[in-house]
Amino acid sequence: MSDHRDFKLETLGLHAGQEPDSDHGSRAQPIHFTTSYVFPDTDTAASLFNMERGGHVYSRISNPTNAVLEERISAMEGGVGGIATASGQAALHLAITTLMGQGGHIVASQSLYGGSHNLLQYTMPRFGIETTFVNFRDLDSLAAAIKPETRLVFSETLGNPGLDVLNIPAVSKLAHDHSLPLMVDSTFTTPYLIEPFAHGADLIFHSATKFLGGHGVAIGGILLDSGNFNWSQSDKFPTLSEPYEGFHDMVFTEESPIAAFLLRARREGLRDFGACMSPMNAFQIMQGVETLGPRMQRHMENTRSVVSFLNDHESVSQVTYPELPNHPDHKLAAQLLPKGCGAVFTFELKGGRDAGQKFIEKLKIFSHLANVGDAKSLVIHPASTTHFRMSDEDLVAAGIHPGTVRLSIGLENIDDLLGDLKQALKSR
């Protein structure tokens, strides 16, 4: 339990950030489906624009429904606040552009979701931001990749798709020794499985589309700040520690030494880039967040059963899951992820690419699609879909082979899931 929360995760998931609607007593969080908010007078309007008062001006910057989601997930993670974004990718982009501009540099894990890899490898360099990808299990390589212009160290808590377990205590210490923040993508783990802030991470983002929502109906992301990183300790972050002409020479670290990052991200990033979350999506994701604890418990139970089944099956050459003794991060997983290592994992079928494709097509309950973290069980072939832009060399470095199949285990009855896998493996 982090140090400023009076309630546990399941309770925070249901209540944090919200009180019953003062006008009608609505127990559920209302959807504030509005672009803008009526100002009672001109003075209040000016005060809201100038951050002299709390409140909402325009839903690209903030919205009452989104604000509940932001406070709720922040409370579950033990942070000082959050910003809901249009997607997980939007959250990643918002973090990067808040921390650096042209000439900035990121050190990132080589085991990233394909979309994140694309953004860092191909898109951000067009705007003058470069990334060096390294194996985060090798701390010496990580340290060697840090340059004077580095502004961020970034990894997933569980690397996609090889489930490399991020050694958050060690990597955050290394980053902090270089006056750099560590940001983690905790989409696969959610605050149910690990609280990265408690282990030393400074920033978190989630694709809320996945387990946080859980229903597969809404795209969204959230960016969270631990409030621990001192942005003024060096001159590396002038976007936060020097006057910003775009907001009346505000110095964000003076305005809020604790929440400077979130302040700039909202006041510049949402204002100018505009990748905000729809309040409808915030409401829908909130419905998922309310049951995150019990759902993740069931995800873990089902996943462990499926992992065990596949690991013992004669048609399977390898299952990659950190709870298995042959996974390179088995010991670290036991230390950092005692509740489980997520519900997404890969396995190799004997027979390579053809065997993998036939298996997928025989499945009846598993849905073949490009998503994870749904209540429904999902399957995909990464080499031809999510990671198809990566070179063969990068694929191997990320732990992906031609016959790799990725499963996202849902909440169905475990007997039905095992039955579906059995018939698909048998009929290949």
Q: Which residues bind another protein (CB under 8 A)?
A: 3-7, 12, 15-19, 46-47, 50-56, 62-64, 66-68, 70-72, 74-75, 78-84, 226-228, 230, 243, 248-251, 254-259, 262, 266
The rounded distance, in Å, linking the Cα atoms of 370 and 366 is 12
> What's the farthest any 2 CA atoms get from each other in the chain?
73
Reading the block at residue 235, the tokens are 């001159």
DSSP state of 165: B
CB of 256 to another protein, least distance (A): 5
Reading the block at residue 135, the tokens are 């194996």
CB of 220 to another protein, least distance (A): 14
Question: In this complex, which beta carbon is closest to another protein, that of residue 168 or of residue 260?
Answer: 260
Q: Beta partners for 165?
A: 158
Question: In this complex, which beta carbon is closest to another protein, that of residue 165 or of residue 270?
Answer: 270
Which helix (H) or strand (E) segment is 426 a member of? helix 414-426
> Pseudo-torsion of CA 176, 180, 181, 185, nearest 10°?
-110
By DSSP bridging, strand 316-320 and strand 344-349 are antiparallel
CB of 102 to another protein, least distance (A): 25
Question: In this complex, which beta carbon is closest to another protein, that of residue 105 or of residue 266?
Answer: 266
The rounded distance, in Å, linking the Cα atoms of 185 and 151 is 17
CB of 75 to another protein, least distance (A): 6
Question: In this complex, which beta carbon is closest to another protein, that of residue 53 or of residue 422?
Answer: 53
Closest Cα partner for 81 from 69, 95, 71? 71
Calculate ∠ Cα 343-200-130, nearest 5°: 85
Reading the block at residue 16, the tokens are 């944090």
Question: In this complex, which beta carbon is closest to another protein, that of residue 149 or of residue 242?
Answer: 242
Question: In this complex, which beta carbon is closest to another protein, that of residue 72 or of residue 295?
Answer: 72
3-state SS class at 201: coil
Q: Beta partners for 108?
A: 133, 154
* Percent of the chain that is helix, strand, coil (3-state, to 5): 40, 15, 45
CB of 355 to another protein, least distance (A): 48
Rg (CA), the chain: 22
Question: In this complex, which beta carbon is closest to another protein, that of residue 12 or of residue 219?
Answer: 12
CB of 85 to another protein, least distance (A): 11
Terminal CA-CA length for the chain: 47
CB of 5 to another protein, least distance (A): 7
Question: In this complex, which beta carbon is closest to another protein, that of residue 141 or of residue 230?
Answer: 230
HSE-up of 89 (CA within 13 Å, CB side)? 11
CB of 69 to another protein, least distance (A): 9
Calculate ∠ Cα 149-202-104, nearest 5°: 15
Question: In this complex, which beta carbon is closest to another protein, that of residue 21 or of residue 361?
Answer: 21
CB of 7 to another protein, least distance (A): 7
